[in-house]
Amino acid sequence: MTLQVAAPLAGEVVPLSAVPDPVFAGAMVGPGVAIEPHPESTEVRAPIGGTVATLHPHAFVIAGDDGLGVLVHLGIDTVKLRGEGFTLRVVKGEKVRAGQPIVEWEPDAVREAGYSSTCPVIALDATAEDLSDLVVPRTVESGAALFTWNR
């Protein structure tokens, strides 16, 4: 079984090890990649189809129909922004299709507030061997293939 994970927003794809946070950089919650968003990457889309399993202003998890969860985290330590500058387009528990807008934000505003705007995209509870087609560094468009999750 393979799951195609799409880029939730456009930007520069970098390895998780480049993320300025030890939990993501150490792949403690799962492997993946990070996207350094372009300034105009204000719309964040579902990387897979499924259900909105967890929803914060600055981060969300979409659970696929087969139970696999993909986490998208908008910036680092952005929980401290307390939702300011983030506009949710869905509610928790909602069914979404891949590419559906989930949240809007302004990467530049997050950077100006002093936070990294790097967005980790994580295959929750996967192992590094489960992921393929991980190519870094490169530029990715919103909705384009980001990596493949095999299991």
Sole binder of other proteins in the list 65, 66, 104, 125 (CB under 8 A): 125
Least distance from C-beta 138 to other proteins, angstroms?
Answer: 26
Reported as type and span, the H/E element at residue 75 is: none
Does residue 69 bind other proteins (CB under 8 A)?
yes
- Residue partners of 93: CB distance under 8 A and separation at least 6: 51, 52
Please confirm, yes or no, whether 73 is among the known catalytic residues: yes
Residue range at the interface with other proteins (CB under 8 A); choices 6-14, 69-77, 109-117, 128-136: 69-77
Written as six digits, the tokens of 83 are: 């939702």
Sole binder of other proteins in the list 1, 22, 93, 129 (CB under 8 A): 22
Phi, psi of 107 (to 5 degrees): -55, -40
- Residue 43 CA to residue 68 CA, distance in Å, equals 23
Phi, psi of 140 (to 5 degrees): -125, 145
Written as six digits, the tokens of 145 are: 């293939």
Identity at 36, one-letter amino acid code: E
Least distance from C-beta 55 to other proteins, angstroms?
Answer: 9
Sole binder of other proteins in the list 29, 90, 109, 136 (CB under 8 A): 29
**One character per residue 82-121, x = contact with other proteins (rule: CB under 8 A):** ----------------------------------------
Helices (runs of H) and strands (runs of E) counted in the chain: 2, 14
Would you please indicate which residues are annotated as catalytic (active-site) residues? 73
Residue ranges in contact with other proteins by CB under 8 A: 22-23, 26, 28-29, 53-54, 56, 59-61, 69, 71, 73, 79, 124-125
